[in-house]
Structure 1
Amino acid sequence: MAVRKCLACLCYVLLLGFVLSAERKTRDMIYKDIISFAPCVRRFNRDNQTGCSSDMNGNTGVVHYIENLDNLDWLLNKGPHEPYMPILSPQMFTAHVVKKLADSPKVNGMLVIHTNVEDQVMDANFSFSPDQSCPNEGFGYGSCGIQWNKPGSNLFALDFNIPIFALTDEDEVQSIVGCYNDTNKPNDKGEAQEYPLCAVELKDFMFGAVNTEICMRRSTNPTNIEYVGYCDPLSDYNVWGTLKPTNKKDLHTDSVIIAAAPLDSTSLFYNVTPEPGVELAATGFITLLSAAYALGSLSEDQKSKLDKNILFAFFHGESYDYIGSSRTVFDMQRNQFPVVEDNKKEQPAQVNLENIAMFLELRQLGLPQDQTYFAHKDPDSEGGSYFFDILQDAFRSTSVSLKKPPNGQRLPPASFQSFLRKNSSIDGLVITDHETYYNNRFYNSRFEVASYLGLNFTDDEEATSPLAEKLNDVATAVANALYVEAVDNASVVYQLEANINITSQLIYCFLYRPTCSLFQSVVDEENVASLSKIPYQFYIGVHPTEAHRSPFASLVQKLLASFIPLDINNKIKSEDCKNAEGSELFDYTYMQGPDRKGTCVKSATGFTVAVSPAFVTDVDGFPQWKSEYYSTWTESAWQTYTARLFLKPSRQQESLIFSLGMIVILISFPLVYIINLKSETLFSRE
């Protein structure tokens, strides 16, 4: 009896293994996984939900390739095999087409081809931007005045209750299109093919819903023992640094010059590759880092003679209603910038709005026409004119020029607007490559990539490019102008020069290969292996903590620290590279250094949180999830996202297969019962 039980158990185990293996093989025979894609995800603000989501179990649809308006018309008016999952060429993925498809009950999701991007961006007649025509409208200072982003379609503001994925691998695209051509493509008479048909399943179910207030309330008031988050505020860290160290008694009115740049960009698709944001974000912060490097070369004697300090600020989350800059202004008003004031600690000086003598911002610098840049100022501000003269003189020593836009023109979307909203008397300029409308045809879109700016990388990290030369010239001019402005009554001698090798390396490392020698030099030996093999995303994201800051923001801070160091000590061990107890005056960062022998860099740099004030919880009257003044953007939580290709049978075939399966199940129950009843006889050893 015991032997028979053991044999039965063994048979059961072998049968179970066979079933599981067969199930996996059967699945692989039916489905082909799509690996390389970027999903559209759901976000929220005070009023709405935006973006995309599948049903909980995913959405399926028959593939239909749309590469012209005739293909679109056939699907909407003739296609009999709904629901459909159209795959669109890049040129057909426009606001008009997407809205028509999303509104059709015949469409259950969309795919858009995002391969051979270099060919798309070189087409001068092609433009695409899912952002507003006036980005961040309603969260700046005054009215917009100009529709800066002419291709802006405002797709960001729309809510699609279907999944939309961007396909990023050419082989997978050809596999899907080939499957469509073989089984789905209408015949020469425009008649639909019969089943089986090529179909796709997309899954990216978003947990959040409605708007930020409702989603955050659900997240902060869990109804069961296990916490489930439905959405999270967009958040990361700003980076700051001063050329000279400060203490609590250093600053007075008009004693600080802020030189700023945005760190972030976004697109309709999450983590899309190649990395977008090259023109909007990278050209600005790379130029500012290069200018910081030039100013960091000043001697200690030269720095000591500066009448004003220079504060470098890199703001995160600016694409979402100025998250980083608005939080900085909020903290300045509470005496919490750059650190929370603590009378028991040694700390750098608190910077407030009255301390700001001048504000200079760099953004969108990669596409100047005729090597000409423009310095924008608010028309209601009386200041800034004298500093423009200083800047223009500094530009004359380079191969690029600087001009004023038309008189009375409003300030373009910029971080500076967050400061003007609270103190309109602050003098400031915003340097861009455009006079009125953006030269950027792909603002905040997946096409704003390195090749759009003419970059073609090799293994030479210091290889110069026309873009590097332009940005290096701007960095040189900015560094000299900041130096002259920081020294009262200084004679205008433009002696500083940005390093073209550093500028070229910054472009190479941020936009092509983060494992470059420059990035390796500013991290310690333990973290070299953690450097990304592909460019870091500039999207702000969610969930950073002080102990686990985003790698991108951390690299910017380490680079800034190495460019404007107060001291470099090669003799200190890594465990001793830190502030004295009870002191927050300096930042100590242990790096490998250029020679890879290890060095401790002391600097006046650091981080501040880039979370909208609307989500602050330690102030009376906050949080303000329905704020009309501050950004209220959140991102939905999700579990996973998948895509797979398969052949879909007709409804009749599906019903037949289901019926046969039920018949087999119904027969198996009495059969198993009979076998079990007669087991003594059937499995007798005699």
Structure 2
Amino acid sequence: MSSLGSLRCNPFISWFFFFIYLEGFGVELTSGECDCKKIHSGEISCGERLSDQIYLNLIGGRYSCFRLLNGTHEIGCGSAEEGNEGVVVYADNADELINLITGLDFADRIIMAFDIFLLNERIIRVLKDNRVHGVLLLRNDSTIIDQKRLNIGFSEDAFCPNEQFDLSGECKNWWNERGALVPAGFRFINWKKPIFVIENLTEIDIIRNFCYEAFNKKNLKGAVLCSARMKHFMRAAGNAEICLQRQKLFYGFSDSSISLCDPLGDKNLFATVPAFMKKFRPKILILSARMDSFSSFTEAAVGEVSALTSLISLLAVAKTIANHSSDFEAVAQRNGRAVIFSFFHGESLGYIGSSATVNDIIKGEFPLDIRLTDIDSFIEVQQLDGSEPTFNAHIDFKAYDTPGNKQKVQILLDAAWSSLKQRESRNGRGSKITVQRKTPLPPSSYQSFLKGKRDIAGFVLRPFGQQYIYNRINSLEDQNAFKNGTAKLRNQVIAAASAVMGAVAGFLAGGNETETDLFNQYDIDELYVSVLLDCFLKYPDWHTCDFFKSITKGDSQFEHHSKETYISVGRNNYSLIRVLMTMLIVNVLGSKNAVNVSDRGQCEDLNKHNKIYHYTWQYDPEDEKFTCYRNSLYTTAAESPAFKLDGYDMHSGVYSTWVESVWTTKQLELFLTVHPCLTRDITVFLSGFIFFIISLIIMELIYLGNKEAIEPMTSILDSDCNHPSPL
């Protein structure tokens, strides 16, 4: 039996020590069902006192690592069904942590607690040790402000994001080497143990001081040790194919639906300028940005740089076009051209949204009657991180070398550069675009379209060359990155939007410099950019921003969801970023010219007989009332074709096969354990035996000393028993 955490001690003994110790420091222990609701005030006050209970239940933080599965294996975290137990151990630095784990006895079991910013490749390697039964990552917001910590790479993605789905079939450039915690990606480790992130200062204090410091620091083999049980059981195991087959089997043999796992999926968004009229078959420019990010931890994928800043730049472009819609639409229709704003979901986990879109277009299931041959050009914006407004345009050399494509790309780049120069002349800020022809195309939705048609002209616009500058892509830490202000980011976002706006003008004008220069006079709405930056990045929750709160009026679910960009699971789930983007696009690109429409029913009835436009009943912050917007917004399923194609080989690696495990409620409990000790056990046994003998002797002496008084009374009692009362 293990020497650490092997025996739970008697309730009185355990909490006699623990309770007295905590009381001495003014910590109030209460009911075993404590939910620590006064978490931000530093109190844990829940009613009935816990001095006679065994467990101290903690909330365990908002973030807990969860499991994903694909066609070949499983990744992430999970506990045994009854939970994982171990003695709580805390380390201040990396060397102490590594020495502690490597020095454990074979049978020891520990729960390792340490500052989350100590995580690196060395520590991750030792944390995989089977003697580590769980991990508590302590994340104190007050320490995050330290600039040195902000400079530490903390990307949960791999050196080569989406390597399996790369256009070339292999990773030729380590894009994320500066940021990735480990080469294969922290998110893609199969931990086989629970990992929680603890943020509450009271809980951090209890774990570190009142548990580890008080009982475990001096001697991990002491008489009484503070232990923890971490429970976060994942129902899915093996791989996606096994899990889905088991789930289907359960559905067939049971009246109740037992869920084990669900495929990742949500919706893509597409908005066209101009609307696609009948017999209008234009050349198409796709403007793309992804809506999603990911993290190993629940509700942690905020994705400020991974997704949000790029979305803001394209919304700013849409706002400029909307402000001058008649001019743009007239030129587009005259030249037979159109722009499709495309916001894909699930891109960070195998290009789920873009691969589904290409598949829909090929099969004729896309809501617009278009073919891949209609897509003339493609521009994608990525990772605006608040650095200098200098950009790199990454070009796929094979598509670029296709006859005619060099001219197409050059028209886009010249117009983008011209727009930046005009902006620079007005505000004195330097900007530039460097063309990257020799490096491979970075991970992007553009790759999905090139797989479908190899000669689509285009580029990926982002502020880096051969490696990512931002070192927290797809991470728990890709949030609160702009605590010190968004001035530099605002300048960069506006510059990126100006460049894209110039490229749009060049495309719609077909290279006509006169028309292009006319469009370049239209400035990006800087106030609108500022509002979006504040709402997306500044506020702790998106529903506390007045602008977002106003456009989402009538959506009862909005205020109940966290600030997150992770793709949802299943068709009926609610992706907050997608819902928010839908309303923002309708607000920006929608027109308010529907007359005699006074309620939602009348507005939605207009959709029954109209295949060109869509009508949406939504609150208008400008007029402060609900309005029926006419728009050309379309949605498609962002679901991997792997789950739609009959007989698809889940091991082929052609499409994303990620599913998310269903899990049970998370639990974190502290309790005391007794270290097994033969000497102490013998002492306790002998003490009890001696006490028994002494008690027996004393009772015998009492009996002998009062024998004369006791025996007559015994005779009387016997007589009463032999002659009972007639009653």
**TM-score scaled by structure 2?**
0.78
Give the fraction of aligned pairs with identical amino acids, expressed as a percent.
27
CA drift of 1:136 comes to: 0.3
Asked if the contact 1:234–1:633 (Cα under 8 Å) also holds between the matched residues in 2, the reply is: yes
Query: 1:392 is matched by which residue type in structure 2?
Result: W
Matched, 1:588 2:615: yes
Shift in CA distance, 184/584, structure 1 to aligned 2, threshold 3 Å? farther
C-alpha separation in 1, matches of 2:261 and 2:311: 29
Following superposition of structure 1 onto structure 2, how do residues 52-67 of structure 1 map, counting pairs within 5 Å? 52-67=77-92
RMSD value, Cα: 2.9
Q: Report the equivalent of 2:274.
A: 244
C-alpha separation in 2, matches of 1:569 and 1:123: 53
DSSP 3-state at the match of 1:467: helix
Following superposition of structure 1 onto structure 2, how do residues 218-229 of structure 1 map, counting pairs within 5 Å? 218-222=246-250, 223-229=253-259
- How many residues matched? 608
Query: 2:321 is matched by which residue type in structure 1?
Result: L
Q: Report the equivalent of 2:472.
A: 442
Q: What per-residue deviation string (whole Å, max 9, x for no partner) do you get for residues 409-453 of structure 1?
A: 111111100011111100011001111110011121111113x24
Q: Report the equivalent of 1:597.
A: 625
Q: What per-residue deviation string (whole Å, max 9, x for no partner) do you get for residues 110-158 of structure 1?
A: 1111222632565365212221101001212114321000132122222
Structure number with higher helix proportion: 2
Q: Report the equivalent of 1:381.
A: 399
Asked if the contact 2:60–2:197 (Cα under 8 Å) also holds between the matched residues in 1, the reply is: no
Matched, 1:310 2:332: no
Q: What per-residue deviation string (whole Å, max 9, x for no partner) do you get for residues 325-356 of structure 1?
A: 1111111101111x2xxxxxxxxx32221111
Matched, 1:638 2:663: yes
Q: What per-residue deviation string (whole Å, max 9, x for no partner) do you get for residues 441-490 of structure 1?
A: 1121111113x24555xxxxxxx632123212221231232123112225
Q: Report the equivalent of 2:5.
A: none
Q: Report the equivalent of 1:412.
A: 442
Larger displacement relative to structure 2 (106-115 or 72-81): 72-81
Asked if the contact 2:57–2:667 (Cα under 8 Å) also holds between the matched residues in 1, the reply is: no
Following superposition of structure 1 onto structure 2, how do residues 289-328 of structure 1 map, counting pairs within 5 Å? 289-306=315-332, 307=335, 308-328=337-357
CA drift of 1:534 comes to: 7.4
Shift in CA distance, 120/277, structure 1 to aligned 2, threshold 3 Å? farther
Following superposition of structure 1 onto structure 2, how do residues 186-205 of structure 1 map, counting pairs within 5 Å? 186-187=217-218, 191-192=219-220, 194-205=222-233
DSSP 3-state at the match of 1:305: helix
Larger displacement relative to structure 2 (647-656 or 153-162): 647-656
DSSP 3-state at the match of 1:627: coil
Matched, 1:92 2:118: yes
Q: Report the equivalent of 1:16.
A: none
Name structure 2 gaps, 5 residues minimum: 1-31, 34-45, 424-428, 686-720, 722-726
1:169 to 189, 197, 200: 200
C-alpha separation in 2, matches of 1:363 and 1:96: 31
C-alpha separation in 1, matches of 2:305 and 2:81: 37
CA drift of 1:224 comes to: 3.0
Query: 2:123 is matched by which residue type in structure 1?
Result: V
Matched, 1:522 2:543: no
Matched, 1:365 2:384: yes
DSSP 3-state at the match of 1:449: coil
Asked if the contact 2:106–2:131 (Cα under 8 Å) also holds between the matched residues in 1, the reply is: no
Following superposition of structure 1 onto structure 2, how do residues 326-337 of structure 1 map, counting pairs within 5 Å? 326-337=355-366
Larger displacement relative to structure 2 (371-380 or 589-598): 589-598
The structure number with the bigger radius of gyration is 2
Q: Report the equivalent of 1:649.
A: 674
Asked if the contact 1:614–1:627 (Cα under 8 Å) also holds between the matched residues in 2, the reply is: no
Q: Report the equivalent of 2:567.
A: 540
Asked if the contact 1:60–1:202 (Cα under 8 Å) also holds between the matched residues in 2, the reply is: yes
C-alpha separation in 2, matches of 1:181 and 1:25: 20
C-alpha separation in 2, matches of 1:89 and 1:211: 32
Q: Report the equivalent of 1:286.
A: 312
C-alpha separation in 1, matches of 2:571 and 2:484: 31
2:369 to 347, 350, 365: 350
CA drift of 1:60 comes to: 1.4
DSSP 3-state at the match of 2:521: coil
**TM-score scaled by structure 1?**
0.83
Matched, 1:207 2:235: yes
Q: What per-residue deviation string (whole Å, max 9, x for no partner) do you get for residues 361-400 of structure 1?
A: 00101243x4311111112122223322221222222335
C-alpha separation in 2, matches of 1:416 and 1:159: 30
CA drift of 1:27 comes to: 7.6
CA drift of 1:185 comes to: 4.5
C-alpha separation in 1, matches of 2:104 and 2:663: 35
Q: What per-residue deviation string (whole Å, max 9, x for no partner) do you get for residues 231-288 of structure 1?
A: 1111111111012111452215xx111000010011121113xx53111111111111
Shift in CA distance, 396/123, structure 1 to aligned 2, threshold 3 Å? farther
CA drift of 1:563 comes to: 0.9
CA drift of 1:81 comes to: 8.5
C-alpha separation in 2, matches of 1:124 and 1:244: 43
Asked if the contact 2:303–2:474 (Cα under 8 Å) also holds between the matched residues in 1, the reply is: yes
Shift in CA distance, 584/60, structure 1 to aligned 2, threshold 3 Å? farther
Matched, 1:230 2:255: no
Shift in CA distance, 227/23, structure 1 to aligned 2, threshold 3 Å? farther
Larger displacement relative to structure 2 (632-641 or 178-187): 178-187
Name structure 1 gaps, 5 residues minimum: 1-18, 340-348, 457-463, 660-680
Query: 1:60 is matched by which residue type in structure 2?
Result: E
Matched, 1:483 2:505: yes
Q: What per-residue deviation string (whole Å, max 9, x for no partner) do you get for residues 71-97 of structure 1?
A: 331233146983100012123222331
Q: Report the equivalent of 1:403.
A: 433
